[in-house]
Structure 1
Amino acid sequence: MKADTQTIDILLLGSGGREHALAAKLAASPRAGKLYIAPGNGGTASCGENVVLDDCDPAAVAAFAQSHGCGLVVIGPEAPLVAGVADAVRAAGIPCFGPGAEGAQMEGSKLFSKQLMERAGIPTAAYGSFTDEASALAYVREQGAPLVVKADGLAAGKGVIVATELEQAEEAVRECFGGTFGDAGNTVVIEEMLVGPECSLLAFTDGKTVRPMATSQDHKRALEGDLGPNTGGMGVYSPVPIVTDEEHATMVKVMEQTVAELAAEGIDYRGCLYGGFMLTPAGPKVLEFNARFGDPETQVVLPRLKNDLVEVMLACANCELDQIELDWRGEWAVAVVLTSAGYPGSYEKGKVITGIADAEAMENVTVYHAGTAVVDGQLVTNGGRVLAVTALGDTFENARNLAYEACEKIDFEGKTLRHDIGLRALRGRDAWDA
């Protein structure tokens, strides 16, 4: 690939911790000119310029990118992808990182994703899909618990209910059809419950070539010991020490098969494909696919990536990824998420945040903003997941200890965190059999 040194202006869509991690990595590139983040958060402003723009309006995003001479548009969250923003940007002749609306159905419709996996022969949970409550309930009673009940559409990471009891499964079905998740619950997918440790494998792709990123493992439950309701993610680490070489090879093959199947079906998929896997006794099986970077996985994967992110993303956008090899740092990365009291339920906003500068003064520590805003010159909480505190270390234990040490330096009223991020993995594979 010819070394291009020309700088380009970039538009990044989104406002979460993932986008702060993306913004920091993009801004660090020698290729990065001006970086616009729409709408951004209290942290992204230090990487570029936060701008007011409806990130789910395809025409508005394409018009902004054109009028500001952007040479790359990077789409962070799933909603703009499903809305077809990437299609509009590409139609305007601007390189874009992120699949079009068709490819985004990998996340936007659980049924689409399951059917594609079926056609490609990809290992996943057995399932049934339903558009009415009565037949869904009949299936639940026929199968018995445990089951996983999923609203088909986008539900901000909350439309998946793991039901260990039959009553729970029935209640979840009623919740989906009862309108709790809006239109996302019009179709319901019910799956067998897979058991084992979870592992995320993200990959860059240009629709032909697949370049897997480093493995990572998120902690979804709100409370210690993996208890409580599901959240967007309470903490994460990379790489995952319990994954065997054989399991890793299987996961990479699945990612390649999936992209090949999308291409065979005429779907142009350029961007990040996120594979959520369960490491079952029968080998890795796909829990779900997402059409974008994970949050908080991005906050541990990107700090370990040595490559220039602008070059990698341009290669994806321009179908030249075969000319890129990814290079990873040897250190471990651990991120702990600080949340507002009450999350994932209701919580208050506007609490003043202190101590971030002290945490970031520590070597190998980065604090990524998620639910933050600057109000009257003060940094305040503005969401459920407020910050992700990431530390790198030469051992898993050192990275973990450093992350928690940094968390101690940060304060805001109602600060909540899990103290057991990564503990299970330190104990080895047997910790999942207990």
Structure 2
Amino acid sequence: MAQEEIIRRYSALARDAAAGRTVADCGPEAFDQGRFGAAGYDDLGLLPEAAVRASLGCGNPVAVAELRPGETVLDLGSGGGIDVLLSARRVGEHGKAYGLDASADMLALARRNAEQAGARNVEFLHGTIERVPLPDRSVDVVISNCVINLSSDKAAVLAEAFRVLRPGGRFGVSDVVTDGEPDPDRRAAVEERVGCAAGALPVAEYRRLLAASGFMDVHITLTAGHGDGVHSAIVQAAKPAAPPGTEIRPMRDDDADQVLAIYQAGLDTGQASFETTAPSWEGFTAARLPHLRYVAFDTGTGQVLGWVAASSVSARPVYAGVIEHSVYVHPGCQAQGIGRALLSAFIAAGEDAGIWTIQSGIFAENAASLALHQALGFRVVGTRERIGRHHGVWRNVLLIERRSPATKNRPP
């Protein structure tokens, strides 16, 4: 279904809600069974009747968003405003709740509902969830209720959610997903019945798109089942935390020059590696996994301040969850928490990817790197004494590793 048709459909539902008519965007049996609409809420007291009537979601994202007083929250596809009004209560007078919707009729309904509820810390924006009209790093939490499945460009939606979140921000949505391998025609029929106009994402693809956008700590919890592998679900994730004025995101090809310059600066110290010259970008990428590579950058200048990346240790299947890593910080930016933030984000991404062992080697003299790694759960498992000559000196290398408490016993 085209975006214009989706907007027309929900505009008509908004007009029905405003007129006091029954509103439903999926099969009536789904509403009757309490799977959609306002049935998932337990704190609707004092909300305008039209806001409750226009609730078309598949869960209660406000209940899982862990909103705190003073935070700023954005609801993607806010409809009649029920989740915005509930969020506004939780963030309090010093916080703010934004609602974003592409339907002018829904926005008009939501604004009337907010006025009737006396909510002053809310603002409703006209726009699409694929192109959010808010600045970078402007909200603490992104929520949504059964809307992302309607988009034909879900990668863009998740990328926008990542962009507008502040470092350490949270993503908590209710959505419809698919799981398993049922008959595609039957699945399509179920999706149509529950209102998934553009098709629900498979759970694995949802995870992949979140990771590609930069999200970590991904949790997808299936709730109600609708038949043929279609489920309502809670989807939670986080944007990596970072020191003030910095952000962590996936590494891109246009970072090449800065990444390699930082690499070379680290090698020049004589304490980072037996290597003495950074490779070409082609050599760098060929030796490292295409995922699990991140940069920290200055949000004011865009300058890359540090990076972390992973290499596989073996092509044998038994080592599928074992990787080796490298982390480098610009010499002028050390002791500012950047290395710790990068490594913390890398560990979280590894957990999401099912990595059970992260390993590396550190020169025995590199006390700062050893202390950083030990603070984040790495341990020394051995010493390779006088393993190689470096600038004419025999060096010892400490072998370190971190075993995942969540996945270390999971078979490959």
TM-score between the two structures when normalised by the length of structure 1: 0.28
Question: Which one has the largest radius of gyration?
Answer: 2
TM-score under structure 2 length normalisation: 0.29
